[in-house]
Amino acid sequence: MFLVGHAAVGVAAVSALGITNPVTAFGVGWFSHYVADFLPHGDEPVGEWAKKGNEIFRLAFILAFDGALFLGIFGSYIWTHGPSIPLAAAALGSFVPDIMWGTEKVVKRQLFGPLSRFHASNHNFFHPRIPVWVGLAWQGSVTVLLWTWLMLR
Ligand SMILES: [Zn+2]
């Protein structure tokens, strides 16, 4: 799942639960990553595309767009709602498993042992054969719906 989607799930969960402690918010954001990853979300072809060229470069390219999109949306949220440490912590927490995954890719070494194995086996757990566009449409809709709900709160 894209980071802008992971952040939407983590921030929405923390906001809905009314969590104000930044450490708890970070933990809930982190946990929400696994919940979101567990469901099919259609971005396997992105990973396959990355592997067809310079993988690190292609992943960095996607990260630049994904990150800019997140910063734009979260920036406008902060602009309209005021700064929030718990929600920033939730977003940061929701990125942790993919930051660990990306770090291992860059250094080409397993650094996080069981956490990495859990992340990989949990990802799209049932591997159903659904068309890519269905997964992406579902992921995109959830992302848009959650950010819209947050903006209107
Ligand atoms: Zn993940």
CB 133 within 8 A of CB 45: no
Quote the number of domains for the chain: 1
Q: State in Å: Cα 34 to ligand 1 middle.
A: 7
CA distance 110 to 100: 10
> Residue 13's domain spans which residues?
3-152
Give the pLDDT confidence score for residue 44 in this predicted structure.
83
Distance 148 CA to ligand 1 centre (A): 23
Separation of CA 97 and ligand 1 centre (Å): 6
Reading the chain (153 residues) residue by residue, the pLDDT tens digits are: 999 999 999 999 999 999 999 999 999 999 999 999 998 888 888 889 999 999 999 999 999 999 999 999 999 999 999 999 999 999 999 999 999 999 999 999 999 999 999 999 999 888 887 888 888 899 999 999 999 999 999
CA distance 1 to 66: 10
